[in-house]
Amino acid sequence: MPSFGAHAGVTDSSKSVFHLWQGFSIAAVIIGGLTVLLMLWAVLRYRRRGDAIPPQHQYHLPLEIVYTVVPILVVFGLFAATLVVENKETSNPKTNVTIDVNAFQWGWQFTYPGSNALVYGQTTQSPEMVMPVNTNVHINLTSTDVIHGFYVRAFNFSRYALPGVDNQFTIRAQSTGTYFGQCTQLCGLYHSLMFFRVKVVTPAQYAQWLDTFNNPADAAKAAAAVKTTNEELATGVASNPSNTKFGR
């Protein structure tokens, strides 16, 4: 089946949206083709053949019923398909994997509740969010300064990171790999460099990765990061610590 210029992505929701797009496109091609054929048929069948005026008919009740009911059924069908996919897109099924994502000028922080894992980076440092494959991953997306956009092209997915709002969603990746992400909301001077990566690994590799943070030093770093972020979210005032020349 043709893609009609879109791509399926690697998550459950991205594939659902892709199939919806295919369905809409096929429906548009069928309806458009039928419309063109009817126009051509009318042009050829009823073209002028002389000066005589053909018989005039004011009503054709069966035809009027058909071209009224059929479009309504098409719209209802498209609406129902959209509703099914949209509900799947916005659902938050229960899961044991949660990642807190905080966006700031101009970088990203990923923390993992229940573990000491902490990933932090700015601009071209491209911090990496690690998540397990074929697992529902619940994301809590926040911002400590301005509006940012969390976008991963391979996921066909984008969400706003809004100051004062905990934007929650669930992602389920079907394929392992490393995928590029970036901020898609103009957020200041270095917006164009606000990159990150998403690394999808097997559940065993994910558990091993979390275990690498089971030490006092990483525990202290994670606790300090969570405390600072919570204070920023509570007060609406971003702190000043930085580990790059761009500042925070």
pLDDT in tens, 216-245: 998 998 899 888 888 888 877 665 444 433
Domain match, 64 and 139 both: no
In a domain, 4, yes or no: no
Instruction: Give the structural domain span for 132.
Output: 97-235
- β partners of residue 167: 141
Query: Residue 51: which CATH number?
Result: 1.10.287
**Higher-pLDDT residue of 168, 54:** 168
Q: Which of 137, 23, 17 is nearest to 88 (CA)?
A: 17
Looking at 69, 90, 111, which one is the last position of a domain?
A: 90
Q: In terms of domains, do 20 and 111 share one?
A: no
In a domain, 190, yes or no: yes
- Segment 181-205 mean pLDDT: 93
Note whether 150 and 30 are same-domain residues: no
Helix (H, G, I), strand (E, B) or coil at 157: strand
Q: 201 pairs with which residues across the strands?
A: 132
Residues in contact with 46: Cβ distance below 8 Å, sequence separation at least 6, in sequence order: 54
Indicate whether 69 and 118 sit together in one domain.
no
Angle between helices 61-90 and 12-45 (to 10 degrees): 160
Question: Running DSSP on this structure, what letter comes out for residue 164?
Answer: T
Examine the pLDDT at 246 and tell me if it is beyond 50.
Answer: no
Which pLDDT value is given to residue 244? 39
Answer yes or no: are the C-beta atoms of 172 and 13 closer than 8 Å.
yes
153 burial type by CB count under 10 A (0-12 exposed, 13-18 middle, 19+ buried): middle
Choosing from 59, 90, 121, the residue where a domain stops is 90
Same domain, residue pair 130 and 48: no
State how many domains the chain has.
2
CA–CA distance, 185 with 35 (Å, rounded to integer): 40
| 36: pLDDT strictly greater than 50 | yes
- 93-149 confidence digits (pLDDT tens): 888 899 999 999 999 999 999 899 999 898 888 899 999 999 999 999 999 989 999
